[in-house]
Amino acid sequence: MRSRIIRQLKMLFSFALLIILLVAVLELLNWMPSIIDSESLRKYGSIELVKRKLHIEKIYMPAYLPEGLNLKWPPSEIYAQKKPFIMILMHFQHRDSADIGLTVYQVDSRTKYQPEPRIKIIRIKNKSRVSIKDREGTLVTAVCENDTPCNKVSWKEGDFLLTVTGKDSERDLIRIAGSMISES
Amino acid sequence: MFIAQSVLHSFIILIIIEITFYSWEIGDHLTKFRYRLLVLALPIFTFPFYQMITPDRGSMYFRENIAIFNINRWLAIKIWEIIPVHFLFFALLFMTSLIFFLQEILPIMREKIPAPDFQTITSHKDINAIIGGLCEKLNTPKPSVQIIDEVYPILFTAGIKNHTILLSRGLLDKLTDDELESALAHEIVHIGKGSNIKTQIIYILRMLMFYNPVSLIEFRRLVQDDEFICDNITVSVTKKPDALTSALKVFYSHPKEDKASKISVAKDIIESHSHNLLLKERILKIEEKGIGDNPKFGWGKYILIIIIILKINYMVV
């Protein structure tokens, strides 16, 4: 009886070990493409890392975050890729919760691809033209998940299409968008 | 997305099943058959099931934060900046589909030959007596028997509800009484186990995954497992393993070499080789094991394995 239990435990141990090994191999196989092709979509820990790894000349970052929005700096999540086209997506979390309060992304304007930020627009209420430091942009007033009012502003800057989505006021969002453009 | 993930999922299920066989020292074919069925059936349902419980599963966030393996990372790679990996992957699936079409669909479509003129031999005393005795032993309804006027050894069971055992005159001439009893017992075991309906269900699952190379392999292994199971039961009923092995040897096939095309000769050689290989394996197993016993099936372990499969595959996108 005892030897049977020991044998069963040995089998269970061997099974568990091999399953762990399988998961480890899958993780390894998931990591390997980043060595082969370092410029495809990845999650990054900081903007400096994106600059260093992907050698993207211009990364547009908000220089101003209104204090009242209570947003944490630096961005809590950064996804970036250089191939097949440049795309950088950043999420800014609230200081006192895990909620995402602001999303900023820049995408090569020649592509039609639009990333799906964590702030998801459910219903568009209004679309209007706005000026962001003399650039013509589009302001979208909308309703996001959980019936939260939100806004999105997008405009073309050089080779990129920049988009800022936030759960803050239209005025604040335009100010954040303006802070992303350097005057030089 | 469904196609790529279903292939990936079936491959992972196959690995987990092989790990299970190795770790728990599973050797009996009935248990193996039930586990292998998971490789064929689960990948059809896993993707829609996962999407239903997590609609966000295909998103970048899931792929980058939760997934343990993201196939898009590999499919996006270009070998020497020229050949995209996704091209190779889909070429493999296309080849599998082509094999499926040529091997399994085309022969069905070409099978428009009128049914051979079978000679009914309900009056054949020997066979009727053997079948009657075997059906009683195996508690199986008695099938009808028909003899085909053919010199090659042929033996199979047709029908799903009302079964008919078909055998050739050539086979009757070649087999001794004991060998005939074993061969017929094997067919009656198939009837008792509902092998024909099971094979058809498995075939439908296989058809749904016609592009999947793992399903292609596993379908054949499942059919083989069914043969091993029936051999085992046959020997336990007749108690004559030698008779069954010598009956099986009669079915060794020799490719015809009078074909016009070299390709059809080569195809025949490959098919005969694979057919003979399976027969050899069956004979070897009967010789090694003699009368084997089927251990109790562990449903607890089976459910545990399904949970592990579902959990791992959930994180494989």
Chain B residues in contact with A115 (beta carbon < 8 A): 60
Terminal Cα-to-Cα distance of chain B (whole angstroms)? 8
Give CA–CA dist A131/B222, Å, rounded: 67
Give CA–CA dist B188/B157, Å, rounded: 8
Interface contact A79-B60, CB threshold 8 A: yes
Interface contact B73-A40, CB threshold 8 A: yes
Domains contained in chain B, number: 1
Give me the residues of B, 185-214, that contact A with CB < 8 A.
none
Residues 6+ apart with CB under 8 A from A184: none
Six-digit token string for B195: 């092998």
pTM of the model: 0.83
The answer to whether residue B65 neighbours chain A at the CB level (below 8 Å) is yes
The answer to whether residue A26 neighbours chain B at the CB level (below 8 Å) is yes
Residue B56 pLDDT greater than 80, yes or no = yes
Q: Is the peptide bond between A74 and the residue preceding it cis, with omega within 30 degrees of 0?
A: yes
pLDDT at B14: 97
The answer to whether residue A76 neighbours chain B at the CB level (below 8 Å) is no
Give CA–CA dist B163/B166, Å, rounded: 10
Interface contact A41-B64, CB threshold 8 A: yes
Q: CB-CB: which of A11, A23, A43 is closest to B312?
A: A23
Distance, CA of A72 to chain centre: 15
**Which of A36, A85, A103, A105 to substitute to test the interface with B, most B CBs within 10 Å?**
A36
pLDDT at A133: 87
The answer to whether residue B67 neighbours chain A at the CB level (below 8 Å) is yes
pLDDT at B213: 93
**Structural domain of B35:** 2-314
The answer to whether residue B19 neighbours chain A at the CB level (below 8 Å) is yes
ipTM, two decimals: 0.82
Count how many Cα atoms sit within 13 Å of the Cα of residue B289 in the half-sphere of its side chain.
Answer: 22
pLDDT at A7: 92
**Which of A15, A82, A91 to substitute to test the interface with B, most B CBs within 10 Å?**
A15
Q: CB-CB: which of A12, A33, A115 is closest to B74?
A: A33
pLDDT at B91: 93
Q: CB-CB: which of A33, A79, A118 is closest to B64?
A: A79
Residues 6+ apart with CB under 8 A from B233: B138, B189, B193
The amino acid that residue A148 corresponds to is T
The answer to whether residue A27 neighbours chain B at the CB level (below 8 Å) is yes
Chain B residues in contact with A84 (beta carbon < 8 A): 76
Chain B residues in contact with A33 (beta carbon < 8 A): 73-74, 76-77
Per-residue pLDDT tens digits for B81-94:
788 899 999 999 99
What is the mean pLDDT of the segment spanning B197-218? 91
pLDDT at B114: 52
Minimum mean pLDDT range among A169-178, B136-145, B263-272, B280-289: B263-272
Minimum mean pLDDT range among A49-63, A97-111, B59-73, B117-131: B117-131
Chain B residues in contact with A7 (beta carbon < 8 A): none
Question: If DSSP states are collapsed to H, E and C, what string results for chain A?
Answer: CHHHHHHHHHHHHHHHHHHHHHHHHHHHHHHHHHHHCCCCCEEECCHHHHHHHHCCCCCCCCCCCCHHHCECCCCCEEEEECCCCCEEEEEEEECCCCCEEEEEEEEECCCCCCCCCCCCEEEEEEEEEEEECCEEEEEEEEEEHHHEEEEEEEEEECCEEEEEEECCCHHHHHHHHHHCCCCC
What is the mean pLDDT of the segment spanning B92-105? 86
Residue % of chain B over a pLDDT of 70:
88
Closest residue by Cα to residue B292 from B19, B31, B35, B9? B31
Per-residue pLDDT tens digits for A98-108:
889 999 999 99
CB-based contact B172:B165 (threshold 8 Å): no
Q: CB-CB: which of A11, A14, A30 is closest to B68?
A: A30
pLDDT at B1: 82
Which is it for strands B144-148 and B164-168: parallel, antiparallel or unpaired?
parallel
Q: How confident is the model at residue B159 (pLDDT cuts 50, 70, 90)?
A: confident
Six-digit token string for A129: 């033209």
CB-based contact B22:B52 (threshold 8 Å): no
Give CA–CA dist A13/B62, Å, rounded: 31
Six-digit token string for B278: 């399976």
Give CA–CA dist B56/B49, Å, rounded: 13
Minimum mean pLDDT range among B7-11, B30-34, B99-103, B198-202: B99-103
The DSSP letter of residue B82 is T
Collapsing DSSP to helix, strand or coil, B90 comes out as helix
pLDDT at A4: 87
Give CA–CA dist B9/B284, Å, rounded: 33
Q: CB-CB: which of B76, B78, B316 is closest to A26?
A: B316
The DSSP letter of residue B143 is P
Residue B108 pLDDT greater than 90, yes or no = no
The answer to whether residue A113 neighbours chain B at the CB level (below 8 Å) is no
The amino acid that residue A69 corresponds to is L
Distance from CA of A26 to the nearest CA of B (A): 6
CB-based contact B20:B35 (threshold 8 Å): yes
Which chain B residue has the Cα nearest residue A8? B24
Question: If DSSP states are collapsed to H, E and C, what string results for B196-216?
Answer: HHHHHHHHHHHHHCCCCHHHH
Distance, CA of B57 to chain centre: 33
The answer to whether residue B312 neighbours chain A at the CB level (below 8 Å) is yes
Q: CB-CB: which of B20, B69, B78 is closest to A30?
A: B69
Six-digit token string for B262: 């070299």
Interface contact A22-B69, CB threshold 8 A: no
Per-residue pLDDT tens digits for A54-99:
998 889 999 888 887 888 889 999 999 998 899 999 999 998 888 8
Residue B70 buriedness (CB in 10 A; 0-12 / 13-18 / 19+): buried
Q: What is the pLDDT along chain A (184 residues), one digit of tens a residue?
A: 788 899 999 999 999 999 999 999 999 999 999 888 888 889 999 999 999 989 988 899 998 888 878 888 899 999 999 988 999 999 999 988 888 999 999 999 998 888 889 998 999 999 999 998 888 999 999 999 888 899 999 999 988 999 999 988 888 899 999 999 876 5
Residue % of chain B over a pLDDT of 90:
49
pLDDT at A11: 94
Chain B residues in contact with A24 (beta carbon < 8 A): none
Higher pLDDT, B61 or B127: B61
Give CA–CA dist B233/B33, Å, rounded: 15
pLDDT at A184: 56
The amino acid that residue A12 corresponds to is L
Residue B302 pLDDT greater than 90, yes or no = yes
What is the mean pLDDT of the segment spanning B255-271? 63
Which chain A residue has the Cα nearest residue B78? A37
